[in-house]
Amino acid sequence: QVQLVESGGGLVQAGGSLRLSCAASDRTFSNYAVGWFRQAPGKEREFVAAINFGGGSQYYVDSVKGRFTISRDNAKYTVYLQMNSLKPEDTAVYYCAARDSVSYYYTSTASWDYWGQGTRVTVSS
């Protein structure tokens, strides 16, 4: 069972950038698709982006396209979420998730098997 640990959250002004990291505990991580989700206060957890096991394919929710980039370094068992041009509405706890599958474009939380504990991102206006 893979364990995931997010880091990189913090407080940033609107228009700024942050890079989140999702580090895995297991070398089999390179076989997993990985997704990023976020949950704002009082709202349901929502899909943000996903990447396939090899890193060659990515999928984004429309609201972050052109601002966020998901990437991975399988040699470091780590997936990244580079967030640029941040907006106050990006404020949320960000979670990474993994599934042992070739398929990666799943936006439902129920489709992902493993979750990290989350890292908080706050964007001030």
38-49 pLDDT, tens digit each: 999 999 999 999
Report helix, strand or coil for 75: helix
What pLDDT does 115 receive?
A: 97
70-104 pLDDT, tens digit each: 999 999 999 999 999 999 999 999 999 999 988 88
